[in-house]
Chain A
Amino acid sequence: MCVATIRVRTTCTQTAWHGGCEQFTATCSQTQVNQIAAALCAIIRKVDGCTLSALQGLKSSLRRASQDVVWKCGTLGPGVLAQTDSIGGSEITLAPSAFGSTSARFEAIVFHELVHHAGGTELDAEAFENHCYAGAGATGPTDPGDFDSFRADGGNFVSWNQSSGALATTAGDALSPNFIDPTPPAGGGGGWI
């Protein structure tokens, strides 16, 4: 089996008289574990068939996700489907609304968070999500806040031409999506520099 086990965050559901925990319960149900594992299997297949050059660190990280990531199933803020604890962080929280998505969308959501787990910024995660899942689960960046993040942080795996919207990996392979900046910085030089 491509994914034998995954690691799930537990919470204390029964406290002992001395204050310690008597019973831990996984935050994800068996159905949710199944969904995550199925998504991971599909992602590994995609990575194995990937023709983008270089990106060895990213590919290796995506393949190892079942061993390295701790999954937490729980609520997040309004409209937030999933969240990684930090760039390069190893805890990914998935909201009930993510599990309620189609399997294609769910896989794209998991994939997006795994790019963050690998050290990718929002630009990296959106770029690869929209390259790999175009028309099959990806959602393009529409929130102006996404573009604020793109401008502020740039990409660790991809570069973005703010004028044309073109994306490429740092090794120079072109990516299919085109992120046109709705409010490009004046002069094209990056307003914060």
Chain B
Amino acid sequence: MAGSKAKIAVLRAAIDRGVQRLEALAPDGRWSTFRTLAGTSDVWVTAFVAAHLQTIRPRSSRLRPARSFLLGQQQHDGGWGFGHGVPSDADSTAWCLSILRTLRPAPRSALIRAEAFLRTHQRGLGFQTYRADSGIREYMRAPKELSIEGWTSTHPDVTAAVLAAGPIRTWDARLDSMQSALIASQTAAGLIDTYWWRSPFYALALTLRALRVHRRRPPRVFIARAREVLDGKQLPEGGYGLGANLEIDAFSTALALEAYSHLAQDTRRTAVLRVADALLAAQRPDGGWEGAFVLRIPAPSVVNPKSVHKWSAGTGGGNAFVKDKDGIFATVVACGALDLHRRVLEGTYSGLERTWAAVKPIPNRQEENVAVLAPRLPPVSERCNAPTSTLSR
């Protein structure tokens, strides 16, 4: 227990220094990073940071001005955007909703309008980032013939952020189905693909966070696959890299630690402790964590980011990676993950409870425009005697 107490003290100290760094970066409660052709984000970034800080340090002096700033940025349609003057989107609105719900007295009108805005972004069992009539085309001065199908499609990373923002009136009937769809989008690799993020763990961690918010438990196979990918992608030093890079990326490592903490009945495992140690070791002397090119902006027409072969770095335009300058996202997510890990070690957080209702699998829907056809192959003996190469050497 003495070891645990010492560890918890180390975690607390690291979180304190991280929060101080965040507060130093925004004396007025407005954080900004991610420079793009639409400018550097302040609205979305402030909402994201404040929503996390509210959980880590609810008495931070920066939260009051942050909430005031955000309240003043709500647009006529009830949503919030990437930055001042940029049309509203579902992701920014979800983070704003998340932080403004903690304001007392509650800004009822603003919250109701925000929920209504989000409802209009629901497509099937997911959420699109932008609606086609959001004004984003006009904002970009994109010609009519240019497709913006990519940005107006539903995205698992946005869906998870919206669900993690908490319940929204009139959703109850579809909430289970939306969670089931997110769960079902886990690939055999154990991850959930993202549209806007390079880190493989973003949508996984946010999905687990959303399940926690709604007190739902994922199926065993989901947990097993998630653990397999978390264990498998861990670097020898305990952290996680970005892309093929074998050096630690703080943002990815923090998201992995958060995912482990949600999944955990066994968070004292060596693998988990090594993630936390790697994250602690990556903290800079100024208390922050290094930011990387974690955000990606596919061109508006790109529905499948996998189809993009050439990404640029730092241009801020379509098909570009964008840097988390000053490490703001890395720092706030690292503080949040370390805080969650601390609570696990203290025994005050136990992840997704086994006693909660399991997410129900989506019933097999009759897919349209699909025919089930039988092959007419030669007899098995002819086929199986054909020479084939072997899978292993």
- A residues touching B (Cβ–Cβ < 8 Å)? 1-12, 24, 26, 28, 30, 33-34, 36-38, 41-42, 45-47, 49-52, 54, 56-58, 60-61, 70, 83-89, 104, 116, 118-124, 131-137, 143, 145-146, 148-157, 159-162, 169-171, 176, 189-193
Contacts and interface: CB of A to CB of B under 8 A. Distances in A.
B384 interface: yes
A152 B193 contact: no
A12 B198 CA distance: 38
Contact of B310 (A52, A148, A154, A193): A148
B243 A9 contact: no
B141 interface: no
A189 B390 CA distance: 35
Contacts of B6: none
A50 B371 contact: no
Interface stretch (B53-61, B106-114, B183-191): B183-191
Contacts of B268: none
B393 interface: yes
A80 B313 CA distance: 26
Bin chain B's interface residue count: 35 or more
Contact of B200 (A61, A134, A156): A156
Contact of A149 (B229, B232, B309, B376): B309
Contacts of B225: 57
Q: Which 3 A-B pairs have the closest CB atoms?
A: A119-B187, A170-B232, A119-B189
B243 A118 contact: no
A151 B293 contact: no
B232 A52 contact: no
Interface string B181-205: 0000111111111000010100000
Dominant secondary structure at the B interface: loop
Contacts of B306: 84, 86-87, 116, 121-122, 153
B383 interface: yes
A148 B245 contact: no
A171 B243 contact: no
A83 B383 CA distance: 26
A6 B375 contact: yes
A146 B244 CA distance: 13
Contacts, number: 204
A121 B233 CA distance: 14
Contact of B247 (A33, A155, A190): A190
Given A58-B188, A145-B310, A150 B374 contact: no
A192 B371 contact: no
Given A8-B373, A119-B191, 20 more contacts: A1-B377, A5-B375, A6-B372, A7-B372, A30-B373, A30-B376, A38-B377, A46-B389, A52-B391, A56-B228, A57-B190, A57-B225, A88-B185, A135-B389, A143-B309, A154-B241, A159-B246, A190-B246, A192-B243, A192-B321
B370 A6 contact: no
B207 to A, nearest CB: 13
Contact of A190 (B200, B244, B390): B244
Interface string B306-339: 1101110100000001000000000000000000
Contact of B309 (A3, A24, A49, A145): A145
23 contacts: A1-B375, A6-B375, A10-B369, A49-B390, A50-B392, A58-B189, A83-B307, A88-B187, A88-B189, A148-B311, A149-B309, A152-B311, A152-B321, A156-B190, A156-B200, A157-B232, A162-B244, A169-B232, A190-B241, A190-B243, A192-B311, A192-B321, A193-B243
A41 B190 CA distance: 25
A177 B390 CA distance: 14
Interface in B199-255: 200, 225, 228-229, 231-233, 241-247, 249
Contact of B189 (A30, A49, A118, A136): A118
Contact of A154 (B245, B309, B367, B380): B245
